[in-house]
């Protein structure tokens, strides 16, 4: 069976350059691999240097160009320098996946100010800082696609997660505001909202809550599609937003959670 090339071309990212934050593991790594599999060259950003270097090697093994840069997304100077390095290395930036994230499972009384600032900084300020530096290059290049990682808790509150819920709720409306501002520049801005995904971040939540990991993961799988998500589940949604398949989609919020919010 031969597929219509016009259809496959809609998903192709051949010749595109994508920045992925939180790219050393989890959703970031899974998405970096998926984007590379359809032709993108990848700039991987993370604070974990050893895993980041390994991740870049995985992209090169697929046959695409890849560079890892250590970047703290809460640092304006890091985001500025990384953006400049990416443009110097690859010549342009077509796709930005703002994915770096962190959580602290505490209520507002338990949470200290440092933890509040950290969670808001990584999950929300990081999107502002990197987008602030990347968007001018996208404008110069004639457009681009920005995908922000929200959460099911962007749309509904959750227990013992006040800073995370606040940050991820902000991501959704930040996405909408960016889409309004930059549609005229041919820059699409969308948000993917994962449910519980089998990453180290999710297992760390069990530790923070003092719960048995197996029990915690069983509870996380209690949804209409009875499993936790995989990084690839989220990567496929990001690919949709990054590709021409979503050419008239901006300011959109896509929940990918196995039906967790449906009930």
CATH code, domain carrying 21: 3.40.50.720
Quick check: 147 and 96 in contact, CB under 8 A?
Answer: yes
Q: What is the mean pLDDT of the chain?
A: 97
3-state secondary structure of 191: strand
Tell me the per-residue pLDDT of 205-216, one tens digit each, with 9 for 90 and over: 999 999 999 999
Query: What whole-number distance in Å separates Cα of residue 204 and Cα of residue 217?
Result: 11
| pLDDT tens-digit series, residues 116-168 | 999 999 999 999 999 999 999 999 999 999 999 999 999 999 999 999 999 99
pTM of the model as a whole: 0.96
Give the pLDDT mean for 212-232.
97
Say how many domains are in the chain. 1
Residue 67 lies in a domain: yes
Instruction: Identify whether 218 is part of a domain.
Output: no
Q: In what order do the strands lie in the sheet with 66-70?
A: 66-70, 41-46, 17-21, 95-98, 144-149, 187-194, 253-256
pLDDT given for residue 165 in this prediction: 98
Residue 1: pLDDT over 80: no
Q: Residue 228: which of 251, 255, 202 has the closest Cα?
A: 202
| Domain-located, residue 205 | no
Local structure of residue 206 (DSSP, 8 states): H
Q: Which two tokens stand for residue 257?
A: 């959670």
220 domain residue, yes or no: no
| Residue 4 pLDDT grade (very low, low, confident, very high; cuts 50, 70, 90) | confident
Residue 29 falls inside a structural domain: yes
Specify if 50 maps to a domain: yes
C-alpha distances in Å from residue 139, one per residue of 132, 142, 221: 12, 5, 42
Average pLDDT over residues 23-43: 98
Over residues 243-258, the pLDDT tens digits come to 999 999 999 999 999 9
What is the set of active-site residues?
A: 164
Is 9 part of any domain? no
Compute, in degrees rounded to 10, the torsion defined by CA atoms 93, 68, 76, 172: 60
* pLDDT score for 8: 84
pLDDT value of position 55? 98
Asked, for residue 206, whether it belongs to a domain, the answer is no
Q: Which domain holds residue 72?
A: 14-195+231-254
Confidence of residue 104 (pLDDT cuts 50, 70, 90): very high
C-alpha to C-alpha distance for 113 and 174, rounded to whole angstroms:
23
Q: What is the pLDDT of residue 263?
A: 76
**Comparing 2 with 16, which gets the higher pLDDT?**
16
């Amino acid at each position: 069976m031969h597929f219509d090339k016009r259809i496959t071309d809609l998903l192709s990212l051949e010749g595109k350059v994508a920045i992925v934050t939180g790219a050393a593991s989890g959703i970031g790594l899974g998405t970096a691999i998926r984007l590379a599999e359809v032709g993108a060259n990848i700039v991987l950003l993370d604070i974990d240097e050893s895993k980041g270097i390994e991740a870049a090697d995985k992209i090169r093994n697929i046959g695409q160009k890849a560079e890892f840069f250590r970047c703290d997304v809460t640092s304006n100077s890091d985001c500025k320098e990384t953006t400049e390095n990416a443009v110097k290395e690859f010549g342009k930036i077509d796709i930005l996946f703002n994915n770096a994230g962190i959580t602290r499972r505490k209520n507002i009384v338990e949470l200290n100010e440092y933890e509040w600032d950290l969670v808001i900084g990584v999950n929300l300020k990081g999107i502002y800082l990197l987008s602030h530096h990347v968007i001018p290059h996208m404008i110069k290049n004639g457009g681009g696609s920005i995908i922000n990682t929200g959460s099911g808790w962007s749309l509904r509150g959750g227990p013992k997660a006040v800073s995370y819920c606040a940050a991820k709720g902000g991501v959704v409306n930040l996405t909408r505001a960016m889409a309004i501002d930059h549609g005229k520049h041919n820059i699409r801005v969308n948000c993917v909202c994962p449910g519980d995904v089998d990453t180290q971040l999710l297992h760390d939540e069990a530790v923070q809550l003092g719960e048995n990991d197996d029990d915690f993961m069983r509870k996380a799988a209690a949804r209409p599609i009875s499993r936790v998500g995989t990084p690839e589940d989220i990567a496929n949604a990001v690919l949709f937003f990054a590709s021409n398949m979503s050419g008239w989609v901006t300011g959109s919020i896509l929940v990918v959670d196995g039906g967790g919010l449906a009930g």
